[in-house]
Homo-oligomer: A and B are copies of this chain.
Amino acid sequence: MSTKAVQLVVAYDGTDFGGWQRQKNARSVQEELEKALQTIHGHPVKLTGAGRTDAGVHALGQVAGFFSDIPTIPVERFKVALNSLLPKDIRVMSASPAPGDFHARFDASLRRYRYFVLCGSRQDPFRNRYAWCISRQPALAKLNAMAEVLVGEHDFSAFASAGDSSLSRSRFVQESYFWYEGESLVYQVAANAFLWRMVRSLVGTMLFFEAKTSSQAEASDLMRGILEGGDRKKAGPTAPPEGLFLWNVEYGARLHGHRRRKGQERGDTMAADEVS
């Protein structure tokens, strides 16, 4: 039977999910999407996501792929069909044709995350699901002195969580910087792939040591020492999930790591263990 590959861009409010990945005892985004795909197809359909976001983590531009054996549905119609079946905290933003051997996870060349921190004493009960609320206002220059240290290829063991099972902990970070948008402090980080809870470990560590250092040079040296030491115990606490958004995923030329070989189902490429 002939099938066609479909690429979905998916946004979700992670508040009420146990995470992207299908799991026992918790609602997952993958399961909700697979249930809707099964309703449309009349049989189970396997869906693959680019990033396995954790419980409480949100997405604006998660990418997922599946193969459809229904020739009569134009690919673009999957957006409307899925949205009519999905709960309202998951929305398909687009559906488009993908290459015949498309793999949302192995083919992704770049994952970009944003982390939102709401700073200051202004009270807002409507932001706490979507930002980490702190009372102080961290100094941007010290934060960016630390964030810069991360750019490039490094072993990120210092920011890996206990449960991380990656074969290699080397990742290539292309973007890493903070800025303020009004009272929101935003951190953007993009890499070929991330270790489990790496973004939240980075954010928690940088905010922790920003408060404990008195200059950009001191902050930068301290961050370099933590990164090179490779010891998670030397880093800071893990930031809470509600501030984290999987912002988008790119499928351009892969600059770092290797493209999987044709026919490879489970690769040990650097992107294969993509989690957050």
Contact = CB atoms under 8 A, between A and B. Distances in A.
A209 interface: no
Contact of A91 (B92, B93, B125): B125
Contacts of A83: 123
Interface stretch (A33-41, A126-134, A160-168): A126-134
A117 interface: no
Interface in A1-38: 11-13
Interface in A201-221: none
A153 interface: no
B130 A91 contact: no
A11 B130 contact: no
A79 to B, nearest CB: 8
Contacts of A93: 123
Which residue among A90, A93, A123 has the maximum number of chain B CB atoms within 10 Å of its CB? A123
A254 to B, nearest CB: 30
Interface in A222-257: none
A123 B11 contact: yes
A116 to B, nearest CB: 12
Interface in A131-161: 133
B123 A13 contact: no
A89 to B, nearest CB: 5
A261 interface: no
Interface string A108-126: 0000000000000001111
A262 interface: no
B89 A123 contact: no
A221 B92 CA distance: 41
A266 interface: no
A133 B88 contact: yes
Contact of A128 (B58, B89, B133): B89
A91 B121 CA distance: 11
Interface in A48-82: 58
Nearest to A121: B80
Contact of A130 (B58, B92, B124, B126): B126
Given A13-B125, A92-B123, A126-B130, 17 more contacts: A11-B123, A11-B125, A11-B126, A12-B125, A13-B126, A13-B128, A13-B129, A58-B126, A88-B125, A88-B128, A88-B133, A89-B125, A89-B128, A90-B125, A91-B124, A91-B125, A93-B123
